[in-house]
Amino acid sequence: MSPVLVDSPAKPLVQKPKRYYVSESSRGYNYILPADEEERERLNSQSEAINQIFDNKLIWAPISLKNGDIVLDSGTGSGHWLLSLANERDRNHKVPSIHLRGIDISSRMFPLPSLTPRDTNFTTHSITSLPLSWSNTISLIHQRLVYLGLQAPQWTSALSEMYRVLVPGGWIQLFEPRYPSYVSPSAAIRNHKAFQLRNKLGFEKRQVVMDIVYRLPEWIEKTGFVNLKVEKRHLPMGASWAGESSASGVKAVMGVWRALKEPVMKAGGLGIVRSEEEYDAVIEDLGRLCEETPETYFEFWVFTAQKPALPAVQKCKL
């Protein structure tokens, strides 16, 4: 008897859940990346990688914090940097008892209240419009990688708001990527189609300031800040040649490209790619080239600057 052939039941197609973008649900926000659980994990890995290349030094501004000082983390996202600072504060008795405040335009990635340390809170605010009651109350403002969310006028507003809420003598420290962000000996990487996609989406569609590192010095000084300094660091983009310790940073940066897929495809591929499969192939090719090309880095800059201190009051001699 011939065996009876029975068709196996078709496996249902598993669709990846749609990602959440603040820019799609709230008018006035141009931030390109999503705000969801997948992005939370990516941000945590990215923050840890940046901490490492900056010598695990969380505060780059030359400030001596005192008990009761307030530190603001603008664009806090998952809150990784602020939680790292809270951990440093709580396990080191030499660190003063400071109050930590994180803000973002969306609360979706904030840490759960049960995981939030003492004297640490997260609230929904935009750095372009902070509460009036915060004027002259904050000692240090930290901000990382908001270049994909602010247009030029919003940067002007953000710097003005930072200046307003800082105490006299307070500091800002702003981390942003170099433009072009990849430093590489390979022309194939420097001129890669992936950068064409990101630049067209950022510059042309959202009008965000992709080349912010070249504009910030002038804008910071025009706002009134003094004592401006810049430091630069490189994040290796190939674990195969830089070692496994760089793997999480590589994954986090490459995750940015994957997060940009939905906005790019909603924009019709921007005249560069015609399908999601073609988009994926472009990103995979960039990752392969980086793994095969030593001395390929993602470059980060940190800007520190100070709100002028009040002049010392001269005592009158009688």
Asked whether residue 107 is assigned to any structural domain, the reply reads yes
DSSP collapsed to 3 states, 80-105: HHHHHHHHHHHHCCCCCCCEEEEEEC
DSSP output for 90-159? HH-TTS---EEEEEES--TTSPPGGGPPTTEEEEE-BTTB--GGGTT-EEEEEEE--TTT-BHHHHHHHH
φ, ψ at 100 (rounded to 5°): -115, 135
**Residue 209: other Cβ atoms inside 10 A:** 24
Is 175 inside a domain boundary?
Answer: yes
Domain count, the chain: 1
Q: Evaluate whether residue 44 is within a structural domain.
A: yes
* Confidence at residue 15, expressed as pLDDT on a 0 to 100 scale: 57
Is 219 part of any domain?
yes
- Which CATH number does the domain housing residue 37 bear? 3.40.50.150
How far apart are the C-alpha atoms of 210 and 207, rounded to whole Å?
9
Q: Is residue 140 part of a domain?
A: yes
What gap in Å lies between CA 101 and CA 81, rounded to an integer?
A: 11
Alpha-carbon distance 194 to 279, whole Å?
8
In a domain, 99, yes or no: yes
* pLDDT of 316: 52
Q: Tokens 């914090």 identify what position?
A: 65
Between helices 247-259 and 276-292, what is the axis angle to 10°?
Answer: 160
- CB-based burial label for 121 (10 Å; 0-12, 13-18, 19+): middle
Number of CB atoms found within 10 A of residue 135's CB: 13
Q: Do residues 19 and 262 make contact, with C-beta atoms less than 8 angstroms apart?
A: yes
Whether residue 2 lies inside any domain: the answer is no
Amino acid at the residue 24: E
Residue 258 lies in a domain: no
How many helices and strands (H and E) does the chain possess?
11, 7
pLDDT confidence of residue 13: 47
* Bridge partners for 298 per DSSP: 182, 235
The answer to whether 217 and 211 are in contact (CB under 8 A) is: no
Q: Which structural domain range is residue 217 located in?
A: 22-180+209-236+296-306
CA dist., res. 306 & res. 23, Å (int)? 32
Predicted confidence at residue 314, as pLDDT, reads 54
Q: Where are the beta strands (DSSP E) in the chain?
A: 70-74, 99-104, 120-124, 138-144, 166-183, 226-236, 297-306
> If the chain, 318 residues long, is cut into consecutive pieces of 10 residues, what is the mean pLDDT of each piece?
44 63 72 92 96 96 96 98 94 83 96 93 98 99 96 98 99 97 96 96 92 98 99 97 93 94 95 97 98 97 97 57
| N- to C-terminal Cα separation, the chain | 121
Which DSSP state fits 270?
A: G
